Amino acid sequence: MTDPQALDRAACAARDTADPLAPLREQFDLPAGVNYLDGNSLGVLPRATAARVQDVVTQEWGQGLIRSWNSAGWIDLPRRVGDKIGRLVGAAPGELVVADSTSVNLFKVLSAAARIAQADDPARRVIVSERSNFPTDLYIAESVAAQHGMVLELHDIDAIPARLASGAGSDVAVLMLTQVNYRSGRMADMAAVTAQAHAAGALMLWDLAHSAGAVPVDLNGANADFAVGCGYKYLNGGPGAPAFCWAHPRHAERFWQPLSGWMGHAAPFVFEPGYRPAPGMQRYLCGTPPVIGASALECGVDAMLAAEPLGGMAALRTKSVALSELFIALVRQHLAGSGLTIHTPLDAAQRGSQVSLGVPADGSIDGYAVMQALIARGVIGDYRAGDGTAAEPHLLRFGFTPLYTRFVDVFDAIQALAEVLARGEWREARFMAKAAVT
């Protein structure tokens, strides 16, 4: 959709009418008057979730009490929901489990990967990651490196292939990347990058926080080694929803994961003093499953799986690309000369399900205040501070969740952003924000 004559609201509404995925929006409880483009931070509430959580609390817990571990299937939640997520990310049944947070799961799988790499070759003592990776991933990697006598090296994403090539990667144990960068929305080619890591003799660990449920993922097809992911973004599991972890079957039983809790025991109800790891991914569980949170997450995942008869992740990806292409075209049409720049790859194959706009480095626009002014208008995206340079600008982020985002939502968001800038509404928002702090 590049013809300026076709970029009006009526044309966008017509695309929504023709959209075969449009009925999926009815699965969600979207607040009136809100244009929500922040599903890459927190997904919206599925309509089924409130009733499901109420049933878990009042019936399964309230009436079933401890019997519900068996009668209601609580004990199977990590595997049952994990198998459903596996359908979205190319994991076979039994290979993926739901547990803990993304950070805790990353600690588990990265620790296992470090032990495997060093067992195979003690000279491999380097964990490599992207400099602009999500900070918690780098903090966890720093901790794991210290515990295993390793070092963490950070590189610009474009410099990583050279770090691995031509024997330069002979000391690399693990390459740890987030498939879709949380700031820029840049998406890595999972299969190609995994092959580069393996060619260097390194293991490949992927963080799917911004890709699971947003773009097609095929962990087994890419021959990845380990992966973790988030339950509360595109999977719509609710704030603080449990996360998930995956290990390729060739690795799953090589080592204990470091948090060897009772749910990862081969016979958790035997209550013996010594630890025996469960087979496969069951050993990556730790403590008691979060029943209420996992039940809410299952509703979000079921909403994703409702797209399967309509083409599944491939159809969702097609719509996601169309939404982001429309957003980019409208930015060029309505925000030319505004000072905002597109900080997300223009090539859809290198872009996740978001577009980030860079704020001028000269401070002529306060990005945080712009986003606050947009939110006051009912358009919710988010703001991510950078160092203000061209390489790491302050960003306005807009996420597109094809399950519920419409083409008119994209049009209305750009119109609102253009008006916020043209009328200087962000200056008042900046004043109000400062007044609230003083």
318 a known binding residue? Answer: no
226 a known binding residue? Answer: no
pLDDT digits (tens, 9 = 90+) for 299-321: 999 999 999 999 999 999 999 99
Mean pLDDT, residues 70-76: 97
* Catalytically annotated residue among 28, 36, 134, 368: 134
* Catalytically annotated residue among 79, 186, 233, 406: 233
249 a known binding residue? Answer: no
Active site residue 233: yes
pLDDT digits (tens, 9 = 90+) for 102-149: 999 999 999 999 999 999 999 999 999 999 999 999 999 999 999 999
- For the chain, percent of residues with pLDDT exceeding 70: 97
- Please count the other Cβ atoms lying within 10 Å of the Cβ belonging to residue 258: 15
137 a known binding residue? Answer: yes
* Catalytically annotated residue among 107, 226, 232, 327: 232
Average pLDDT, the chain: 95
178 a known binding residue? Answer: yes
CA pair distance 371, 366, nearest whole angstrom: 9
All structural domains of the chain: 4-46+312-437 (3.90.1150.10), 73-305 (3.40.640.10)
Select from 243, 302, 231, 241 the least CA-distant residue to 48.
302
Active site residue 36: no
pLDDT digits (tens, 9 = 90+) for 223-274: 999 999 999 999 999 999 999 999 999 999 998 899 999 999 999 999 999 9
74 a known binding residue? Answer: no
Token pair listed for 136: 């918690």
302 a known binding residue? Answer: no
pLDDT digits (tens, 9 = 90+) for 10-62: 999 999 999 999 999 999 999 999 999 999 999 999 999 999 999 999 999 99
Active site residue 244: no
The structure's pTM equals: 0.96
232 a known binding residue? Answer: yes
List the single range of 19-28, 84-93, 230-239, 424-433 with lowest mean pLDDT: 424-433
* Catalytically annotated residue among 38, 171, 207, 409: 207
